Structure formats: C-alpha cells, structure tokens
Amino acid sequence: MTTPNEPAVKPANPHFSSGPCAKRPGWTLEALSDASLGRSHRAKQGKAKLAEAIELTREVLQVPADYRIGIVPASDTGAVEMALWSLLGARPVDMLAWESFGSGWVTDVVKQLKLDNVRRLEAPYGALPDLSAVDFSHDVVFTWNGTTSGVRVPNGDWIPADRQGLTICDATSAAFAQALDFSKLDVVTFSWQKVLGGEAAHGMLILSPRAVERLESYQPAWPLPKIFRLTKGGKLIEGIFKGETINTPSMLCVEDYLDALKWAKSIGGLSALIGRADANAGTIADWVARADWVDFLATDPATRSNTSVCLKIVDGEVTALDEAAQAAFAKAIASRLEAAGVAYDIGAYRDAPSGFRIWCGATVETSDIAALTAWFDWAFAAEKAKLKAAA
C-alpha cells in the first residue's frame, strides 16, 4: 500500500478532546476580563456572578422554574456523588451501566455505600441495557450519554411520569447538546468542561421538587461530609441554589462559564447548540458510511451520541491482530494525527475498546470535523502501509 499525500486542509482548531472540550469559537482570554478576581465569592459582586450563572443555565438549558440549580465542587463526579450519598437508601436501586462512568457509579453504590438492595442492569460497550426491564418503584441511576462508549439513551420515553422512585441522571456529555426531558428526571448533573467548553472542577446539580422532598424527609444511615450536605435541620439549604456555594469556587472559571452561556444564548440557545452537535456527528456519520475501515462503537444508530462519538477499526487485516496489536495500531493513528497538529486527545478511553473518541459538541466547528476525516483516512493508510511492510 502506498502512503497517500497529506490532505491539503487541516482543522483550524485541532482540539477534539472529550474533556476538557474545545473552547467556544472566537474565545480569547480577554473574554474573562470582567472576572471577580481577588474578591470574596460571598461579596455582592461574586454572589451576583454565581447567581447569574445559575439563571443563565436555567434559561439556556430550559430547566423548569420549580427545579433547583446549584453550583457544587468536584465537577460532575462531585455532583453525582452528592446525589448518591444524600438520596439513596430509601428505596431499592436500579443501576444502569454500559460504559466506564456508569460502572463507576455501580461500584460506589455497592462497595462504598454498601447498599444490598441494588439491581445491576448492564450492557457491553456499544449497547444499552434493556430499558424496559427497569423497575421504577426503585430509584434509578443512569448516564444519559455514555461518554466513553458513544452510546446514549434515545429519549426519556422509557421513564414513566408516575414513577415512585427518583431518577438520578449523569448528563455531563448530554447537557446543552441533547434534549433532556426534565419531567422524567429528578436529579441532573453535569460539568462546565464538557459541551460548553468551560473549565474543570465545578459541577452542576439540578433537583426536581420530588428530589427536594426526598432530601427533606429522608436521613441516610451513613454520615455525610460537609461537602455533601444539602440540608440543615431537615430543610434544604436554599442558599446553595442561589449562588452561595458550599466551598470556594474559582471566579475565573465562573466568568468563563458565563462567557460560554452568553455565547450559547447569542447563537440561538439550546436548539442551536443541539443543531451544531448534530451537524458535527452527521459529518462523522457520512464519512463512516464512505470509509471501509472504521465504524461506530455504538451498534444502534438511534443510540449514537452526537457529542462523544466513539469509533472502532473494522479493517480485516487489523482486526485479525491480537488485542494488544489492535490497540497499538489505533494508538499509532492517534499519535500520527497529533504529531501533524491535526487532532489532539482522540484515543479511546483507557477502559474502552481500542479506537477513537471524537468530541463533536457545539463548540467544535463542522468544517474542522470534515477536515479531520480526510486526515483520518491518510493516517490509516500510512499505518496500514507500515503494517504491510513489517509483515
């Protein structure tokens, strides 16, 4: 096989990482010049910034008016853990997992909280568990979009409106890119560094009235560290949901999140964000349909993510290799693209099958995705030529 010439056009922005994700188009450090630096986050200015972040989140994400929104520490992980430790134990729990982060929540509930009334509904990478098997008299914990598998739930239709248990949804790769049905969700979590390309270490916790009722009527059997406490004296700490954060946030990161939210609003809000992600994922799908060496990890088109798009190599000569050699081949392609300044951080997640993970969220330009696909074909051809030469 002859190595082809390099494509003529490179992506203008080679940042395709699935977290932290690409900054919004046109972003510069000057966008953060109004950050409330050197001031207490509890001062009037700082509290106003935090409250604005909450209200803009509500507006852009279209969160119902009676849902609480709080800024919490430790990214999406912190937000999920706060929900698990504060809410679970009142009912049996159904844990859904089909990729590494969902599996991590299963481990925490079973091994750390040590709940014994837990059902696991699991599926391998590329598939969803049987959603019809979920028992909604139980609390239900699931990821809306599996970041490391590229598999998402198609919608919220599988969740009944008259459920008895709570639904706790890790939506960190779905929020601002997919239509979340809040009427079916009691807890929603995400982090700033995903779809809007914000900075890391801050999470968002969104609670339905049903979740608030549980918090105020149920006391877990285990002690809660201060950083997880959402109630005091049996009542919700309302200040958390008005910008009075549990611990000190980075006001520089807050300003960056505000900038991303204002950009999202300026381009048309949630529908525009979803449209951009769909266009990016669609460009990948068009290329995969043409290419004979790569395919989606997600087996069902209805469940394919439009943000964390995961791909596998299906070329027969490569799949005939042992697992380690297949992983090395995929890694060599990713390394070649990084060395060319074309794409950074696109290898599959460490626990996932070998392949690639391309972030297609709204901050990525479709023209850059289109340019990337040509370079993928080039890199594959180059590595295939090496493989043949070594045979």
Q: What is the pLDDT of residue 385?
A: 95
For position 386, which CATH number holds?
Answer: 3.90.1150.10
To which H or E segment does residue 381 belong?
helix 366-390
Domain co-membership, 168 together with 288: no
Residue 304 inside a domain? The answer is yes
Domain co-membership, 107 together with 222: yes
Q: What value does the mean pLDDT take over residues 80-97?
A: 98
Q: What is the pLDDT of residue 2?
A: 65
What is the number of other CB atoms lying within 10 angstroms of the CB of residue 47? 18
Domain co-membership, 301 together with 220: no
Domain co-membership, 259 together with 275: no
**Which pTM was predicted?**
0.97
Average pLDDT, the chain: 97
Residue 16 inside a domain? The answer is no
Token pair recorded at residue 225: 């560290």
Residue 38 inside a domain? The answer is yes
Tell me if 122 sits within 8 A of 97, measured CB to CB.
yes
Residue 112 inside a domain? The answer is yes
Residue 22 inside a domain? The answer is no
CA–CA separation, 337 vs 315, rounded Å?
A: 19
pLDDT level of residue 128 (50, 70, 90 thresholds): very high
Q: Which residues, listed in sequence order, are joined to residue 97 by a DSSP beta bridge?
A: 122
Q: What percentage of the chain carries pLDDT values higher than 90?
A: 99
Q: Which amino acid is at 244?
A: E
Q: What's the total number of domains in the chain? A: 2
Domain co-membership, 189 together with 312: no
190-225: per-residue pLDDT in tens?
Answer: 999 999 999 999 999 999 999 999 999 999 999 999
Please write down the HEC assignment for all residues of 31-88: HHCCCCCCCCCCCHHHHHHHHHHHHHHHHHHCCCCCCEEEEEECHHHHHHHHHHHHHC
Domain co-membership, 52 together with 85: yes
Q: What is the pLDDT of residue 210?
A: 98
Judged against a pLDDT cut of 80, whether residue 72 lies above it is answered with yes
To which H or E segment does residue 90 belong?
none
Domain co-membership, 227 together with 120: yes
Token pair recorded at residue 138: 């139980």
Residue 11 inside a domain? The answer is no
For position 243, which CATH number holds?
Answer: 3.40.640.10
Residue 309 inside a domain? The answer is yes
Residue at a domain's end among 236, 266, 296? 266
CA–CA separation, 193 vs 307, rounded Å?
A: 13
Domain co-membership, 215 together with 326: no
Domain co-membership, 347 together with 259: no
Q: Identify the residue with better confidence: 63 or 4.
A: 63
Residues spanned by the domain of 65: 29-266
Residue 196 inside a domain? The answer is yes
Q: What is the pLDDT of residue 304?
A: 98
Domain co-membership, 239 together with 309: no
Q: What is the pLDDT of residue 255?
A: 98
CA–CA separation, 136 vs 366, rounded Å?
A: 39
Tell me if 50 sits within 8 A of 278, measured CB to CB.
no
Residue at a domain's end among 217, 235, 266? 266
Which class for 252: exposed (0-12), middle (13-18), buried (19 or more C-beta within 10 A)?
Answer: middle
Q: What is the pLDDT of residue 13?
A: 98
Domain co-membership, 183 together with 286: no
pLDDT level of residue 4 (50, 70, 90 thresholds): confident
Tell me if 141 sits within 8 A of 89, measured CB to CB.
no
Distance between alpha carbon 254 and the CA centroid of its chain, in Å?
19
Question: 202-207 and 187-191 as β-strands: parallel, antiparallel, unpaired?
Answer: antiparallel
261-293: per-residue pLDDT in tens?
Answer: 999 999 999 999 999 999 999 999 999 999 999
Residue at a domain's end among 238, 266, 294? 266
133-174: per-residue pLDDT in tens?
Answer: 999 999 999 999 999 999 999 999 999 999 999 999 999 999
292-332: per-residue pLDDT in tens?
Answer: 999 999 999 999 999 999 999 999 999 999 999 999 999 99
Domain co-membership, 241 together with 274: no
What is the number of other CB atoms lying within 10 angstroms of the CB of residue 353? 19
